[in-house]
Structure 1
Amino acid sequence: MDDLQTRRQRAMGRHVTTFYREPVHVVRGEGPWLWDANGRRYLDCYNNVPHVGHCHPKVVEAIAAQAATLNVHTRYMNERVVEYLEALFAKFDHGLSSAIMVCSGSEANDLALRFAQAVTGRTGLIGTDNTYHGNTAAVSQLNASKVPIGGYADHVRKVPAPDNLNPVGGSRDGQGAAFAAHVKAAIAELEASGHGVSALIVCPYFANEGFPTLERGFLDEAIAAVRAAGGLIIADEVQPGFGRLGSHWWGHEKLGFAPDIVTLGKPMANGHPVAAAVTRPEILEAFQESFKYFNTFGGNPVSAAAAHATLRVIEEEGIRENAESTGAYAVSLLCDLASRHDCIADVRGSGLFFGAELVEEGAPATALCDAVINEMRRRGVLLHSEGRHDNILKVRPPCVFSRENADLLVDTLDAALTAVRAAR
Structure 2
Amino acid sequence: MTDFFKGLSQVKFEGPESRNPLAFRHYNKDEIIAGKRMEDHIRPAIAYWHSFAQEGGDPFGGRTFERPWFDKGMEGARLKAEVAFAFFELIDAPFFCFHDVDIAPEGATLAESNKNVRAIGEVFAKKMETSRTKLLWGTANLFSNRRYMAGAATNPDPEIFAYAAGQVKNVLELTHELGGENYVLWGGREGYETLLNTKIGREQDQMARFLTLVIEHAEKIGFTGQILIEPKPQEPSKHQYDYDVATVYGFLEKYGLEKKVKCNIEVGHAFLAGHSFEHELAVASSLGILGSVDANRNDLQSGWDTDHFPNNPGEMALAFYYILKQGGLGKGGFNFDAKVRRQSLDAEDLLHGHILGLDTLARGLKGAVALIADGEFDRRLDERYAGWNAGLGRDMLDGKLSLAEIAARVERDNINPQPRSGRQEYLENLVNRFV
TM-score bracket, normalised by the shorter chain, equals 0.3 to 0.5
Q: TM-score, normalised by structure 2?
A: 0.32
Structure of greater relative contact order (alpha carbons < 8 Å, 6+ residues apart): 1
Greater strand content: 1
Greater helix content: 2
The structure number with the bigger radius of gyration is: 2
